[in-house]
Structure 1
């Protein structure tokens, strides 16, 4: 199973999902490096600098495109803790009305994670599961989506 390929440029974020037997598997990058962020529309006289990497802190799903901010609540969630590590699973089932798309997102940088990567889910998907692993409840080491 190969993860998605993510490319970030001055024009935006482009992704290529790899699908196997009707399933789409997406893996969030564990962190974004400073050179990943390219300024597009800065106010006159301002410069944007990302001084250090930002780490993966959250993920989830949207109903409709990212600009609509229709974040979905999972149908069910489970969490299992072993020592300092926590494994979580979230599951969404959906019947997408004509004209709407489903998207996954990966959030970076801490509480509220204002920096997010988005990728559209294949149109034939009717459910997605998010698996994550974190240490000490902070940085996510692994965050993977499986949609079918």
Structure 2
């Protein structure tokens, strides 16, 4: 019995050490990863500029049809109950332009891309939940850097 307790304690300690090592970058949500390489140059620059935000999820795609991969980021400002999404629009290899923000789900966040209307800009779909309430929104980046909500379902319950 005593041996089992010692083993259980050792396993718990090892798991905690692993968790600490895995989440050593405090600006990135620990867990299943964020969807892109944590060393992505735009992601690193964004983290330095906005240290008070935890990055929840990110995905890369050319959302404004300029032939360059942009970065869609879902983040949580520390102390805020809501998550937000923003697009880091590729300007050149060292810099990006920030879009305006839109709301995003709190938990189980996923980002997908689809050219729904076969027009220039690719739409991005952000889905997720909050306290078991699921929702999603289809967004498009507009010329004025606004993230336009084309269609959403139950986002008010999951954001």
TM over 0.5: no
- Tell me the TM-score normalized by structure 1: 0.29
Which protein has greater RCO, CA pairs closer than 8 Å, 6+ apart?
A: 1
More strand by share: 1
Radius of gyration: which is bigger?
2
More helix by share: 2
